[in-house]
Amino acid sequence: MTTKIPKVYQVGDVTVTRVTEMMLGGIPPEVYFPGSWDRMFLEENRDSLPSGLIDGNSQLIVSIGTWVVKTTNHTILIDTATGNDKNLPLNPDLANLQLPYLKRLKEAGVTPEEVDYVLLTHLHVDHVGWNTKLVDGKWVPTFPNAKYVFPLAEQEYYSSEASHNKANEVNFNVYEESVLPVVEAGLTQTIGPEGGHFLEIFKFIPTPGHSIGQMSISLKSDGEEALFGADVMHHPFQVFNPDWNSMYCEFTDQARISRLRVLEYIADRPVIYFSTHFPESAAGYVTRNGDGYKWDFI
């Protein structure tokens, strides 16, 4: 990935900047959208779709990253990508990474010490990794002055035997390396099942399905609104095909319900959608398109 000055979005009085940890290409769509992928969708819409969604071999491009929100008083991170040095024996593609994420964070104007809050939409492997870093063989909080805030249902599930199953093998060892150390450091705060407001400008909104207690996070400032959608969608193809689940959605019927609710909400309002995994800028607008929806990057 080339280093460039991050794009800064203004939402009312606050700024939002993307820090991309990884861009991943060459992903077979029939694997990523198991049981849903329809080759005809691409053939019929290839000319009208936004550019940058697929590579030259018609394989998907996705990203993993963090959103940085700066207010007058606070620096906030939303989700913390995958992290370096992680021991993920059941997820070798994301194990033992050595990526310059903290350097990119600095280029976006953030040092670890000045992060006040880390808001986590859910506790999957690619959303919690930089919560911690490996120092002298021990996992320590990467953001030592931050409060880490996440849904209680996610903590209960991923710290329990219930989550240590076949459907969850990509998340094996994730809670232990990337969540438990910040819990033990006393740096966490949980959000109850109903969601709710946080720091006045944010609201946690339950959007379960992709994971058991996932929440999207709304941002409202000075009359403007944005939504950090979490993994309600992984790729813009799902804006056009809301019934397509990704291979990582754990509770598939509920995931479809949450996706449709989010699309309906943001399509009828001037809400910027900040995705976790879309390619390109990862940000854009959903609008109505006949009976369905369409996506444009900003």
Chain contacts with Zn ion (rule: CB under 5 A): 126, 231
Minimum distance of Zn ion from residue 125's CB (angstroms): 8
Residue 17 vs 275, nearer CB to Zn ion:
275
Minimum distance of Zn ion from residue 155's CB (angstroms): 17
Mark 223-235 as b/e (b = at least 16 C-beta within 10 Å): eebbbbbbbbbbb
CA distance 128 to 149: 11
Joined together, the tokens standing for residue 108 give 């976006």
Sign of the torsion formed by the C-alpha atoms of 227, 229, 234 and 237 = negative
Residue 171 vs 188, nearer CB to Zn ion:
171
Residue 21 vs 231, nearer CB to Zn ion:
231
CA distance 279 to 285: 14
Contacts for 166 with CB less than 8 Å, ≥ 6 apart = none
Minimum distance of Zn ion from residue 103's CB (angstroms): 22
Minimum distance of Zn ion from residue 276's CB (angstroms): 5
Q: Is-contact 237 292, C-beta < 8 A? A: no
Residue 126 vs 280, nearer CB to Zn ion:
126
DSSP-derived 3-state class of residue 139:
strand
Minimum distance of Zn ion from residue 10's CB (angstroms): 26
Residue 126 vs 177, nearer CB to Zn ion:
126
> H helices within the chain, ranges in order?
29-32, 39-45, 101-107, 125-128, 152-158, 174, 180-184, 237-240, 252-267
Minimum distance of Zn ion from residue 79's CB (angstroms): 8
Minimum distance of Zn ion from residue 126's CB (angstroms): 4
Residue 177 vs 231, nearer CB to Zn ion:
231
CA distance 214 to 137: 31
What does residue 106 show for φ and ψ, rounded to 5 degrees?
-65, -40
Residue 231 vs 250, nearer CB to Zn ion:
231
CA distance 4 to 18: 11
